[in-house]
């Protein structure tokens, strides 16, 4: 029975067409990911050599004045890409993966962007996640829309029912072959991706694979549901394509629009103005007031005192510090807004598998907004460490060559992925269950 | 060819399609979505506009509120420019989500434009932007395909095509009539969209140098052309296909290929062939160039030393302290001039590499009317790449003028004895801050946009002629049964 059904399945033109298209797009999407990772890797390598060169030139130019040297010196902090980012590029092409900061006011530097062609960002990436979320459903629809209706239209269904065996069984067998085929193609895709992108086989990769399989299963459930509405092939095709259009193209756009408009992040503008003003105001205010604030933040430096007359680096760096310290309220308001955006997105997404899958994949691949915020926070910490290392040396007017500059190599940011499979897939599983359950229930009289 | 027959067939197709059960539902959904998009888009635009204006004012106010200061302090105080959006972004937001919204302009430092909408958004933003153009460019073509795929095949399958033919309607008339009918049905969908475009352009007409009416007019014409082409192609494919299923499949593949896969692939390939410099490399290139010509921060730099000597000679003094103007102000103005020129040439190179990346999809316009309408719609809505590049170069120009304004103040009013910009001794009156002109953003002119998009406009015209030509040609070798 199975062999016959498989033969019949493999003889259809759609299968070859679907397979061909998938292979072509797989090659394209994997090479997109590879190219992305390679470019990032090359940039990281450049950053390392550039930083060394930069330190060498600057230290030779300003060797007598550490305060001035550190006004110019930039230190790199790199968000090391997970190879899974080649599968789900997510937001990692929009956001800068490399921070290049001086120990001055951080808030004026932290949000500087990388140089990316906005047209490319706008068109979006044809990465593996796009292939799975966007195009696999179409293949599934093409393979399944006339599973039952074709037999009815050709008159073969009656012959099956009068043969006495369970016709439901027959339908499930037909469906199972298609599920197996698509699962196998997806498996091949992941194997190819693993080798081309050098992805280690770990929990994250496994989670990503499981999420993808669940998503594929969701589309089979949708097809199963529509097939059992027992409409004509044409109607099935239209219903399925419309649901694809709504679920994959339209709803995500609508949800994003809703989230963006519900929480516009104007605080970013307010914050950026504030951090500038607060630093610059200090040039015109009493030095003691600035220094008092600085020493409240860093009591360990209070011993350096206040020098009322003329310029000193101590005072200068204290002023710079105030730009960060006194824009704290605005900054927190901005982060709160971003957090609200994320929460709302996640809340809505869990009920819509395409959205959920995209967000889950980005989370697993560390290419989500959450991860970017983590990176920004880690940058703050990185920056603070640098300040604490250099502040006392500057305040004591140490020489530039008392510092071991070789030690200052770019630092890689690594973080743990926090991803809960059950939390992320619960609603998707529930939706799949409801779709299959309700259609079996409705059609129970046909199946024995 | 009889006009009456064409009109008759068109009318019949329109009636038949328009009064099908599902169409009214579809149309109401479409209109509902359109209304939602227009209202929320408009609100978002006004909100953004308001926020930009508010923050621009507050930034300027803090600039003007500065007390008497050393001009170089003001040069570093700098100014913010928040990017204004063209009202037509309600219609087509183009690349707006991905372009920076705020840029900090200060002396001898070119900052990036930051806080793009995308950088503050979750991954969902990559599915696309909700605007009227999305409906017109992606959704409506699919609806047209759904409505028209069986226009001819159904007549074939019912056997009514034979009857029409024997009654004296030529194939050409049938094809043209059906295309016209389909176009009329699509009108019901796209006219409301254009109506909301026009309501934007009439109500937001106060935008300075927006040239909004002429932009809307050009957009309207382009979309009408696009839909004529699309309807003709749908009918042609329906005529060429053996049955309705195949017609639908072909049209869907066309949609997928032309509307989704080709545009994405073109950009990926463009990026692979013409990679651009990363920021680190870009900055290193500028630094290297500056080091080659002379570094004004280096006290032993040969270039700047010879400059000093020639200045001393010209003014008949032996020490820079005796010069009639502030020497460090002069030095900075020279340094600014030099670094700005180098930055400009490097930035042009960068933009050029972006253009090369875009060039593949730009050339594909010829083969893909979707890309053509997309580019036209974006650029006339002033949300395209060229508009953004022009914004960046305008801000850089303003930054340069602002810095030189401050350097001039320093040369004129600051004594050569000043050792540092600290304190209340070497200062310039605050009335000078107010007299610095504000940044005045100008959109690219419509004429310039037309010349940028000439290829796309031509493509639409050529495709229109081609489809009509194919229609009359295929009518000669047409299988009626």
Instruction: Kindly determine whether residue B98 and residue A121, on different chains, have CB atoms separated by under 8 Å.
Output: yes
CA of B377 vs chain A CAs: smallest distance (Å) = 14
Longest dimension (CA), chain A: 104
Residue in B55, B114, B422 closest to A113 by CB: B114
The dihedral over CA atoms of A83, A88, A90, A93, expressed in degrees to the nearest 10, equals 50
- Confirm whether A397 is domain-assigned: yes
Closest CA to B368 of B272, B435, B466: B466
Q: Name which of B66, B280, B420 to mutate to probe chain A: the one with the most chain A Cβ atoms within 10 A of its Cβ.
A: B280
Please give the structure tokens belonging to residue A397.
Answer: 């007017």
Interatomic CA distance for residues B389 and B358, integer angstroms: 13
CA of B244 vs chain A CAs: smallest distance (Å) = 9
> Which residues 6+ apart lie within 8 Å of B457 measured at CB?
B222, B372, B376, B450
Interatomic CA distance for residues A26 and A29, integer angstroms: 5
* pLDDT at position B215: 94
Show the 3-state SS of A289-334.
HHHHHHHHHCHHHHHHCCCCCCCCHHHHHHHHHHHHHCCHHHHHHH
- Confirm whether A160 is domain-assigned: yes
Nearest CA in chain A to B287: A54
**Helix, strand or coil for residue A208?**
helix
- Confirm whether A332 is domain-assigned: no
* pLDDT at position B274: 92
What is the pTM for the complete model shown?
Answer: 0.93
Q: Where does B241-319 have alpha helices with state H?
A: 244-254, 262-273, 279-293, 302-314
The total domain count for chain A is: 1
Interatomic CA distance for residues A274 and A293, integer angstroms: 17
- Confirm whether A283 is domain-assigned: no
Please give the structure tokens belonging to residue B197.
Answer: 């475009």
A23 in contact with chain B, both atoms CB, cutoff 8 A: no
Interatomic CA distance for residues A228 and A145, integer angstroms: 10
Instruction: Count the Cβ atoms, other than its own, within 10 Å of residue A349.
Output: 26
- Confirm whether A259 is domain-assigned: no
Residue in B73, B134, B350 closest to A253 by CB: B134
Q: Report CA-CA distances (Å) from B164 to A438, B11, B149, B240.
A: 47, 15, 19, 17
Interatomic CA distance for residues A232 and A221, integer angstroms: 18
φ and ψ at B110, to 5 degrees?
Answer: -100, 110
* pLDDT at position B243: 85
- Confirm whether A389 is domain-assigned: yes
Instruction: Kindly determine whether residue B114 and residue A32, on different chains, have CB atoms separated by under 8 Å.
Output: no
* pLDDT at position A234: 81
- Confirm whether A134 is domain-assigned: yes
Nearest CA in chain B to A146: B245
Instruction: Kindly determine whether residue B104 and residue A108, on different chains, have CB atoms separated by under 8 Å.
Output: yes
Task: State the Rg of chain A over Cα.
Answer: 29
pLDDT under 70: residue ranges of chain A: 1, 164, 447-448
Q: Name which of B29, B52, B124, B128 to mutate to probe chain A: the one with the most chain A Cβ atoms within 10 A of its Cβ.
A: B124
φ and ψ at A127, to 5 degrees?
Answer: -95, 180
Model confidence pLDDT, tens digit, residues B207-258: 777 789 999 999 999 999 999 999 999 999 999 998 888 898 899 889 999 9
Per the structure, the complete domain to which residue B108 belongs is given by 3-477
- Confirm whether A36 is domain-assigned: yes
- A contact residues 330-389, partner B, Cβ 8 Å cutoff: 338, 341-342, 345-346, 349, 355, 358-359, 362, 367-369, 372
> Which residues 6+ apart lie within 8 Å of A283 measured at CB?
A319, B69, B73, B421, B422
Please give the structure tokens belonging to residue B312.
Answer: 């001393």
* pLDDT at position B297: 66
Structural element, H or E, at residue A125? none
Residue B104 and residue B402 in contact, taking contact as beta carbons nearer than 8 Å: no
Predicted ipTM of the assembly: 0.91
Q: Is B332 exposed, middle or buried (0-12, 13-18, 19+ CB in 10 A)?
A: buried
> Which residues 6+ apart lie within 8 Å of B306 measured at CB?
none
Per the structure, the complete domain to which residue A119 belongs is given by 1-247+354-448
Instruction: Kindly determine whether residue B124 and residue A256, on different chains, have CB atoms separated by under 8 Å.
Output: yes
Spell out which residues of chain A touch residue B58, defining contact as CB-CB under 8 Å. 273
Residue B403 and residue B336 in contact, taking contact as beta carbons nearer than 8 Å: yes
Instruction: Kindly determine whether residue B291 and residue A57, on different chains, have CB atoms separated by under 8 Å.
Output: yes
Instruction: Kindly determine whether residue A369 and residue B354, on different chains, have CB atoms separated by under 8 Å.
Output: no
* pLDDT at position B299: 64
**Helix, strand or coil for residue B43?**
helix
The total domain count for chain B is: 1
Interatomic CA distance for residues A233 and A145, integer angstroms: 7
Whose tokens are 């007598």? That residue is A64
> Which residues 6+ apart lie within 8 Å of A362 measured at CB?
A88, A90, A91, A129, A368, A371, B122, B123
Q: Is B316 exposed, middle or buried (0-12, 13-18, 19+ CB in 10 A)?
A: exposed
State chain B's mean pLDDT as an integer: 91
The strands making up A98-101's β-sheet, listed across from edge to edge, are A98-101, A75-79, A411-413
Residue B211 and residue B88 in contact, taking contact as beta carbons nearer than 8 Å: no
Interatomic CA distance for residues B207 and B87, integer angstroms: 8
Instruction: Kindly determine whether residue A234 and residue B77, on different chains, have CB atoms separated by under 8 Å.
Output: no
Model confidence pLDDT, tens digit, residues B83-104: 999 999 999 999 999 999 999 9
CA of A203 vs chain B CAs: smallest distance (Å) = 22
Whose tokens are 């895709």? That residue is A189
A59 in contact with chain B, both atoms CB, cutoff 8 A: no
Handedness of CA B229, B234, B240, B246 (dihedral sign): positive
Please give the structure tokens belonging to residue B449.
Answer: 């946009």
Burial letters A54-72, b for 16+ CB under 10 A, else e:
bbeebbebbeeebbbbbbe
Q: Tens-digit pLDDT profile for chain B (481 aa)?
A: 788 999 999 999 999 998 888 889 999 999 999 999 999 999 999 999 999 999 999 999 999 999 998 999 999 999 999 999 999 999 999 999 999 999 999 998 899 999 999 999 999 999 988 999 999 999 999 999 999 998 999 998 888 888 988 888 889 999 999 999 999 999 999 999 999 999 999 888 777 777 899 999 999 999 999 999 999 999 999 999 988 888 988 998 899 999 998 999 999 889 889 989 988 889 889 988 888 887 766 667 788 888 888 889 988 888 888 888 988 889 889 989 999 999 999 999 999 999 999 999 999 999 999 999 999 999 999 999 999 999 999 999 999 999 999 999 999 998 888 777 777 788 899 899 999 999 999 999 999 999 999 999 999 999 999 999 998 888 887 877 6
* pLDDT at position B321: 84
**Helix, strand or coil for residue B159?**
coil
Closest CA to B133 of B97, B180, B170: B97
Binning chain A into helix, strand and coil, the percentages to the nearest 5 are 75, 5, 25
B125 in contact with chain A, both atoms CB, cutoff 8 A: yes
């Amino acid at each position: 029975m199975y062999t016959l059904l498989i033969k019949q399945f493999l003889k259809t033109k759609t299968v070859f067409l679907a397979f061909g298209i998938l292979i072509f797009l797989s090659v394209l999407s994997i090479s997109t990911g590879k190219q992305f990772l390679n470019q990032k890797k090359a940039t990281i390598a450049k950053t390392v050599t550039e930083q060394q060169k930069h330190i060498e030139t600057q230290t030779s130019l300003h060797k007598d004045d550490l305060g001035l040297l550190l006004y110019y010196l930039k230190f790199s902090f790199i968000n090391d890409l997970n190879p899974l980012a080649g599968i789900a590029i997510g937001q990692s092409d929009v956001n800068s993966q490399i921070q290049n900061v001086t120990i001055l006011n951080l808030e004026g530097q932290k949000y500087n962007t990388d140089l990316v062609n906005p047209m490319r960002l706008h068109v979006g990436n044809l990465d593996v996640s796009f292939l799975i979320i966007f195009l696999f459903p179409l293949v599934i629809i093409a393979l399944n829309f006339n599973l039952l209706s074709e037999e009815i239209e050709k008159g073969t269904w009656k012959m099956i029912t009068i043969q006495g065996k369970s016709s439901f069984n027959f339908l499930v067998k037909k469906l199972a072959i298609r599920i197996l085929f698509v699962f196998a193609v997806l498996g091949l895709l992941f194997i190819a991706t693993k080798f081309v992108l050098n992805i280690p086989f770990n929990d994250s990769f496994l989670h990503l694979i499981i999420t993808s399989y669940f998503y594929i299963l969701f589309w089979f459930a949708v097809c199963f549901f529509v097939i059992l509405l027992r409409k004509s092939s044409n109607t099935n095709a239209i219903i399925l394509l419309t649901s694809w259009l709504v679920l994959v193209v339209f709803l995500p756009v609508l949800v994003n629009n809703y989230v963006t408009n519900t929480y516009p992040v104007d605080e970013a503008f307010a914050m950026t103005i504030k951090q500038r003003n607060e630093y610059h105001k200090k040039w015109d205010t009493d030095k003691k007031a600035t220094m008092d604030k600085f020493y409240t933040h860093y009591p360990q430096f209070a011993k350096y005192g206040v020098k009322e007359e003329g310029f000193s680096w101590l005072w200068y760096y204290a002023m710079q510090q105030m730009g960060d310290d006194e824009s704290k309220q605005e900054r927190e308001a901005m982060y709160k807004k971003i957090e609200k955006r994320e929460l709302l997105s996640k809340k809505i997404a869990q009920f819509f598998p395409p959205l959920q899958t995209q967000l889950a994949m980005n989370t697993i691949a560390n290419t989500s907004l959450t991860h970017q915020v983590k990176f920004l926070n880690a940058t703050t910490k990185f920056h603070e460490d640098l300040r604490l290392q250099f502040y006392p040396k500057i305040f004591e007017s140490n020489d530039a060559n008392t510092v071991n500059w070789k030690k200052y190599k770019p630092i890689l940011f690594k973080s743990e992925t926090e991803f809960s499979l059950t939390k992320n897939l619960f609603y998707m599983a529930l939706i799949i269950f409801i779709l299959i359950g309700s259609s079996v229930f409705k059609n129970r009289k046909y199946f024995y | 060819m009889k006009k009456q027959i064409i009109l008759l067939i068109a009318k019949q197709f329109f009636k038949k399609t328009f009064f099908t059960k599902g169409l009214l539902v579809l149309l109401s959904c479409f209109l509902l979505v359109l209304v939602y998009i227009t209202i929320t888009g408009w609100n978002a635009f006004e909100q953004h506009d308001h926020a930009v204006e508010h923050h621009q004012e507050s930034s300027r106010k803090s600039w003007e509120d500065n007390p008497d200061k050393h001009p170089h302090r003001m040069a570093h105080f700098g100014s913010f420019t928040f990017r204004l959006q063209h009202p037509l972004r309600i219609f087509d937001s183009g690349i707006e989500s991905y372009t920076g919204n705020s840029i900090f302009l200060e002396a001898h430092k070119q900052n990036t434009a930051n806080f793009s909408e995308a950088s503050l958004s979750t991954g969902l933003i990559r599915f696309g932007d909700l605007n009227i153009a999305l409906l017109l460019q992606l959704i409506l073509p699919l609806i047209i395909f759904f409505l028209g795929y069986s226009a001819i095949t159904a007549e074939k399958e019912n056997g009514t095509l034979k009857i029409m033919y024997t009654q004296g309607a030529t194939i050409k008339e049938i094809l043209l009539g059906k295309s016209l009918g389909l176009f009329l049905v699509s009108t019901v969908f796209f006219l409301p969209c254009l109506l909301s475009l026009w309501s934007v352009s009439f109500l937001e007409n106060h935008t300075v140098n927006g040239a909004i009416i002429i932009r809307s007019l050009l957009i309207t014409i382009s979309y009408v052309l696009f839909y004529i082409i699309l309807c003709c192609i749908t009918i042609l494919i329906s005529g060429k296909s053996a049955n309705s299923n195949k017609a639908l499949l072909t049209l869907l593949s066309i949609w997928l290929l032309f509307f989704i896969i080709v545009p994405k692939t073109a950009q990926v390939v463009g990026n692979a062939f013409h990679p651009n410099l990363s920021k680190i490399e870009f900055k290193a290139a500028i630094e290297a160039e500056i080091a080659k010509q002379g570094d004004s921060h280096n006290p032993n730099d040969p270039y700047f030393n010879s400059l000093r000597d020639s200045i001393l000679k010209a003014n008949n003094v032996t020490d820079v302290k005796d010069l009639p103007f502030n020497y460090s102000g002069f030095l900075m103005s020279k340094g600014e001039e030099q670094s700005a020129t180098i930055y400009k040439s490097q930035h042009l190179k960068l933009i050029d590499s972006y253009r090369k990346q875009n060039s593949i999809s730009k050339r594909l316009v010829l083969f893909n009317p979707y890309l053509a309408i997309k580019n036209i719609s974006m650029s006339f809505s002033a949300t395209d790449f060229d508009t953004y590049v022009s914004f960046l170069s305008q801000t850089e120009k303003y930054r340069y003028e602002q810095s030189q304004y401050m350097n001039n103040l320093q040369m004129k009013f600051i004594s050569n004895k000043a050792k540092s910009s600290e304190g209340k001794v070497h200062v310039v009156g605050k009335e000078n801050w107010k007299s610095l002109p504000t940044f005045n953003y100008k959109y690219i002119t419509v004429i310039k946009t037309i010349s940028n998009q000439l290829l796309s406009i031509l493509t639409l015209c050529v495709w229109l002629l081609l489809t009509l030509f194919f229609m009359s040609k295929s009518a000669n070798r047409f299988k009626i049964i």
